[in-house]
Structure 1
């Protein structure tokens, strides 16, 4: 009998090889996205694991083509991946973490609504805790290829199992000021199979880990060529320009600027409606007739002064050595799922 969901069957087959004879806990979407439902993923499976640490191994169905192929000649199926997520399981925990399923649905919703996909070594600031109902330092994520499932050949193209790993903001900053791949290589020695543990402290609190990051940053600079910042914009201001930055992002921008411009590399910071390209050289400031891109060339002294005013404290500051440039730091408000402000930064 021919299956009506051969892509789904290919995912099941990969999981059967890893978990022979084990029936997962599975949550199915009642109304599919293609029929107007709110959830892009048609299903999410949870496998209870004991090794190397107790955790839930969570796998999505719906980022790849499950039922048919709009493009039969495509190398990759659908988005080219299915999400996986490994979440630390606490003693006596028998029910899957529903928050994790909701989180994967939100990631999928972002992909489908924005058109932006993910890949290994991509990362994202979550602008708040990964699970709002928990007290946790995990407030960012990075993506790795699932170390056990890898890539499969499915009927409608290849599918990579793309695993989410939860990070603290200090770890996230390290990926941007140095290298995502290099930091994740260090993380692998402390988080087997990249299991996300909501209760853990930052790995940057471990002196040996922090020193390796610092040494790599001094040696290599930053590999981050662009930053997407939700609270970022520029506006004309008299004869110059005003940078508007959320307090939540200022220290990250400053650190990456130092790691790029000091090594002769440029950095583009993208806000929702405008962007700034920073580079090093003789000071310059202008748009070159581009209505959304502001170009700022900084001397070493101007860079020092700019990063010196990029601090998480609301206020307006001119930038010495950069005439015409003003930095306007605005407070960042962190809200819960109901829209209530739970934290103010700046």
Structure 2
């Protein structure tokens, strides 16, 4: 979602293309057999949304997945909250700023809570609370 190769026409822009890249931390899941390729489909779907709508993702938003984030799986994780990646943060490039936006899996109960009165501050507070027991906000498909 950012400019990958040097392009003199894009140099010194405020943001590099859309200005972000997704990150995702995931507890190994036995059904993945070491290859969580399904996560790439999630990234592809979100990238398609950005290109088709012209709207990009920022920190402290939430995204309903309208079902389990890993298809054909018994998981309570049915959406995402977004945050600035706690290790990667933001960088400046020749093409402008890039924020590393981490997807954090959330349950329906958590999604309902965020949807009651949506605001970026509510998402930030929710994620700060989640960080107390999970500082890197690693998604666990077995979490209830």
TM-score band, normalised by shorter chain: 0.7 to 0.9
Corresponding residue for residue 34 of structure 2: 95
Q: Distance in 1 between matches of 2:8 and 2:73?
A: 40
> Residues 68 and 76 of structure 2 are in contact (CA less than 8 Å); yes or no, is this contact kept in structure 1?
yes
Corresponding residue for residue 75 of structure 1: 14
Structure 2 vs 1, CA of residues 70 and 130 (structure 1 numbering), >3 Å: closer, same or farther? farther
**Deviation per residue, 1:228-269 (Å, 9 max, x gap):** xxxxxxxxxxxxxxxxxxxxxxxxxxxxxxxxxxxxxxxxxx
> Residues 130 and 139 of structure 1 are in contact (CA less than 8 Å); yes or no, is this contact kept in structure 2?
yes
Shift of residue 109, structure 1, vs aligned partner: 1.1
Match of 2:25 among 86, 92, 111: 86
Secondary structure of the corresponding residue to residue 172 of structure 1 = helix
Corresponding residue for residue 278 of structure 1: none
Corresponding residue for residue 51 of structure 2: 112
Q: Does 2:122 correspond to 1:183? A: no
Whichever structure has more strand as a proportion of its residues is 1
Structure 2 vs 1, CA of residues 110 and 69 (structure 1 numbering), >3 Å: closer, same or farther? farther
Q: Does 2:9 correspond to 1:66? A: no
| 1:1-346 correspondence runs (5 A) | 63-67=1-5, 68=7, 70-90=9-29, 95-177=34-116, 179-201=122-144
**Deviation per residue, 1:298-330 (Å, 9 max, x gap):** xxxxxxxxxxxxxxxxxxxxxxxxxxxxxxxxx
> Residues 174 and 183 of structure 1 are in contact (CA less than 8 Å); yes or no, is this contact kept in structure 2?
no
> Residues 123 and 143 of structure 1 are in contact (CA less than 8 Å); yes or no, is this contact kept in structure 2?
yes
TM-score w.r.t. length of structure 1: 0.38
Bigger relative contact order (CA 8 A; separation at least 6): 2
Which ranges of structure 1 fall in alignment gaps of 5 or more residues?
1-62, 202-346
Which ranges of structure 2 fall in alignment gaps of 5 or more residues?
none
**Deviation per residue, 1:80-135 (Å, 9 max, x gap):** 111100011147x7632010111111111111111111100011111111011211
- Divergent runs of 4+, >4 A: none
Q: CA RMSD in A?
A: 1.7
**Greater Rg, structure 1 or structure 2?**
1
Secondary structure of the corresponding residue to residue 55 of structure 2 = coil
Secondary structure of the corresponding residue to residue 105 of structure 1 = helix
> Residues 75 and 142 of structure 2 are in contact (CA less than 8 Å); yes or no, is this contact kept in structure 1?
yes
